[in-house]
Amino acid sequence: MKKTSTRLADGRELIYYDVRDDAVREAADRRPLGPVSTTSEIREDRLLGDAVAIASHRQGRTYHPPADECPLCPSAGDRLSEIPDSAYDVVVFENRFPSLAGDAGRCEVVCFTSDHDASFADLTPEQAGLVLEAWTDRTAELSHLPSVEQVFCFENRGAEIGVTLGHPHGQIYAYPFVTPRTALMLRSLAAFKEASGGGNLFDDIVAEESAGERVVLEGEHWIAFVPYAAHWPYEVHLYPKRRVPDLLGLDEAARTEFPQLYLELLRRFDRIFDESGEAPTPYISAWHQAPFGTLDGYEGINRDDFALHLELFTIRRTSGKLKFLAGSESGMSVFINDVPPEAAAQRLREVASS
């Protein structure tokens, strides 16, 4: 992998990740951009104890542009985009319309491929491996920012999810706090360790699921299963078999195997409701990593107790029908799942990926 860091016309950082070591990235951003102006701030909800990002400047962000005006495609002639070069493998750049900025964190865009009509599932194992390297490198770099406590790499795919740009891409949020979902995991982790006399909750869950009927895919270094209490109609958790706290902890063997299993999982997701794969499944794919700040308030645990894992889920519950977060989910955070996890796992095992 070759990494080349440069700057866009408004000063934002842009980084090329190339498979070839001899790639040359000298194209300049020729757009007459003014400085980025953000209004992002973090407000604490005193009643719930969580945080909300207020970012009114995002109202003006690019919204469903035609393909020939996509800002994530390479620049070509007089059509200038966020990527100055005429082609790329993987690109990461600071979001022009960030939810988090300055002391409130940082937001980045990850372009998986220059092919506008592709999806992550269309990547080769080599391309998917390069994306993994980019996620890992950005996690390392962002963890050193003074305000950052947690790094979150994720992909939203599909208009049903709320995606406003059709080009295959994901995002990275660097939060200045431990997110509420991670805080819940840490509390459960600490409670289990105390109650079990030193056991690890993640290890216990993976061991239990490994022997059950909800396993979807398994390799030498990774395992994917539908969790016992899945919140979403089709939800799969992908764990490395050797517990590590973050992407940086993966060894070479796990990095090599990951693309094969993950691409297989994505291709099966695309065929849950349509065996032809012509109606791609909307999904969210989310990496969960240990916070980089101190774990004050979580007695008896440290970063190494946390287990890196990826959660992949869709809001589609059956063909043509979506799972909406209505009263119980949105009002009380109590999910109601219409698809039994065992049935979801069986469907994902039996569906052909190609």
Residues designated catalytic: 169
Closest C-alpha to 119, from 286, 11, 278:
278
AA identity, residue 233: P
∠ CA(265), CA(270), CA(271), 5° rounding? 100
8 Å CB contact between 72 and 109: yes
The DSSP secondary structure of 125-136, one letter per residue, reads HHHHHHHHHHHH
Here the tokens at position 303 are: 């970063």
> Dihedral of the CA atoms 262, 263, 267, 269 (nearest 10)?
20
d(CA 95, CA 48): 29
Here the tokens at position 118 are: 């592709």
End-to-end CA distance of the chain: 29
